[in-house]
Copies of this chain bind each other. A is one copy, B any other.
Amino acid sequence: MAVYTQVSTEAMSDFLRRYDVGTLLSAKGIAEGVENSNYLVETTGGRFILTLYEKRVDAADLPFFCALTDHLASKGLNIPRMLSDRRGEQLQTLAGRPACLIEFLQGVSVTHPTPTQAFAAGGALGDMHRALADFRLGRPNSLDIAGWRALAERCGADLDRISPGLRARVMGELEWLEANWPRHLAMSVIHADLFPDNVLMLGDEVSGVIDFYFACTDIRAWDVAVTHSAWCFENDGTGYHADLGRSLIAGYDRRFGLSTEERLAFPILARGSCLRFLLTRAWDWLNTPADALVTRKDPLAFQRRLDFYAEVDPETLLASA
């Protein structure tokens, strides 16, 4: 949520000459995305996002993200493509960082979605899963169930500094998930981080899906569960909104759909989503100075969601969707 790498106007102008996009008219560093540096750039040829990849994105993964967004855009989905320069290269280096020039899409991210907007987001996720059926690349999920254990062990006793008893709760949940994880469900490349932040909307329509930097190969229905846990609660994890949950799943079903097995496993998948975000937030919480300008997201907001999914009647969660 900050600009980590400053790019001078002169360096940006030089960079843009690699592309057929005209000359620079405006460039503003924007607060967006997870630990990348982003500029909203305007040229005589249009508007673009210039992204410089910082430490969280492995440059070796960029060809995968590039192929993925190309694949989705080529199927007509509203996914911003990485532009090719005059030599056909999409992946660049700028200011010592891997960098890409990316299409700009209009749209805003809602913070309190309506059921109609949740329906549209579920539909966009369904469209993505449909479009990915013939995508042949893959990327391991470093934040899969094995990754959660590694992260939980790295956090260790410090979890109790966030909230007394959190470590026992996390380790207990982890053991339960390891015993019950539905490893037989269909796999796919998934977005894996479809929070409202990453969905651009114009009114009630999805105008863009962005930030594919957690995309990976994992259980496809887990992506739906991640989205469900991200869209259907208050920000602090209280107050499940059943109408949003129903609308999200109905939107997904309209475009793609959950199998009976996936529906039965859904609360387990959602618990896994909660543990994943609880753990990454806990790690960031423990490793971000309290006075840094980066906003620390509350790990407990996902403990509260976890409590909900652990207690909800599996039959009723998706019953009327």
Interface positions, chain A 16-70, Cβ under 8 Å from B, are: 23-32, 40, 42
Determine how close the nearest CB of chain B comes to the CB of A89; give it in whole angstroms: 24
Inter-chain contact A108/B24, CB cutoff 8 Å: yes
Cross-chain contact of A292 among B9, B25, B291, B295 (Cβ < 8 A): B291
Determine how close the nearest CB of chain B comes to the CB of A287; give it in whole angstroms: 12
Name the B residues within 8 Å of A293 (CB-CB): 2, 292-294
Q: How many copies does the complex hold?
A: 2
CA distance A269 to B42 in the complex (A): 38
- Say whether A3 faces chain B, with CB atoms less than 8 Å apart: yes
Inter-chain contact A3/B31, CB cutoff 8 Å: yes
Provide the main secondary structure of the chain A interface: loop
Name the B residues within 8 Å of A1 (CB-CB): 2-3, 29
- Say whether A202 faces chain B, with CB atoms less than 8 Å apart: yes
Q: Given that A111-B8, A112-B10 are contacting pairs, would A30 and B29 also be in contact in the complex, using a CB cutoff of 8 Å?
A: yes
Name the B residues within 8 Å of A203 (CB-CB): 23
Determine how close the nearest CB of chain B comes to the CB of A293; give it in whole angstroms: 4
Q: Which chain B residue lies CB-closest to A6?
A: B295
**Chain A: interface residue total (CB-CB under 8 A):** 36
Cross-chain contact of A28 among B8, B23, B31, B294 (Cβ < 8 A): B31
Q: Which chain B residue lies CB-closest to A28?
A: B30
Name the B residues within 8 Å of A3 (CB-CB): 1, 31
* 20 A-B residue pairs with CB within 8 Å: A1-B2, A1-B29, A3-B31, A6-B295, A8-B112, A9-B110, A12-B108, A13-B108, A23-B203, A25-B108, A25-B202, A26-B107, A28-B31, A28-B40, A29-B31, A29-B32, A30-B31, A31-B31, A40-B40, A291-B291
